[in-house]
Amino acid sequence: MLLDVLQGAEPGGFILIQDTVKCTGRGILKCFINAALKRGEDVHVLGFEASETEVCAGLDRSCVQKLHFHKGFPDPLGWMCRSSFTVDQLTSQHITKLIKDSQHAKAPVLVIDSLSLVLRHHDPVVISQRLQVLRKGGDIKTIISLLHSDLHLHGVVGIVSHLASTVISVAPANNEHHAVATTTRRSKSGKVMQEEEYFNVSEDMTLSVQAKLRQHGHVQKEQKVAEVSNAALILNDLRWRFLL
């Protein structure tokens, strides 16, 4: 499922990558950026926590010209008047203007790194409303954001997660060269699917999924098949007893 989300990036979607101190999600975030660039999509990155050099490191150099980095870092709050984009400018009007000024042929992808810094300074309900307006506005294809879930109240994480069409939570695995991603995907019909997978991020920002740990929908299906088989066996057994 993780690779489907990476390759699909459905229009109007909001993909939320949640991490903690135990396992960083910035690697997966960069994989999403790289995948979008390789698809020929324009990507606007609102960089509040990491420098442009750090974000661009490892990305496909042939596509980097389609990456538009808006420098929040190193001055995301405007203390030094050196920022081209502060946390206060995360509004639908500012971002729509930013995108229209860039004159793209198609709606671009918007990446927010990270939403945690924004939520430190703004009400989560207000930010959620702004993100919803951006999603529905048609000027942006997909929003992808990183959130450090261990830095916020559970309620705040819940508000933002509820808004997302896909939530990817990363955690460490027993194998130190891999991590575990729990992907929860909500379709437009309201159906929710969840899957846990081992994954690894290579130096060139390629995401590889190693193995499936557990697939909730698939497990339920297998259980149902087993039940039918048992019922059929019992019925068959009764038939034979009757015949005898």
- Residue numbers of the site for other proteins (CB under 8 A)? 20-21, 23-24, 26-27, 30, 49-51, 54, 57-58, 73-77, 79, 117, 120-121, 148, 150-151, 153-154, 172, 176-179, 200-201, 203, 205
Buried b (16+ CB within 10 A) or exposed e, 136-153: eeebbbbbbbbbbbeebe
Supply the minimum distance, in Å, between the C-beta of residue 36 and other proteins. Answer: 17
Closer CB to other proteins, residue 59 or residue 140?
59
Supply the minimum distance, in Å, between the C-beta of residue 74 and other proteins. Answer: 3
Question: How many angstroms separate the CA atoms of 74 and 140, rounded?
Answer: 25
Closer CB to other proteins, residue 99 or residue 196?
196
Question: How many angstroms separate the CA atoms of 218 and 56, rounded?
Answer: 37
Task: Report, in angstroms and rounded to the nearest whole number, the Rg of the chain calculated over CA atoms.
Answer: 22
Supply the minimum distance, in Å, between the C-beta of residue 41 and other proteins. Answer: 21
Closer CB to other proteins, residue 157 or residue 167?
157
Closer CB to other proteins, residue 101 or residue 176?
176
Question: How many angstroms separate the CA atoms of 19 and 85, rounded?
Answer: 24
Supply the minimum distance, in Å, between the C-beta of residue 32 and other proteins. Answer: 13
Other CB atoms within a 10 A radius of the CB of residue 94 amount to 15
Closer CB to other proteins, residue 194 or residue 200?
200
Pair 67, 56: CB distance under 8 Å: yes
Q: Most distant CA pair in the chain: distance in Å?
A: 92
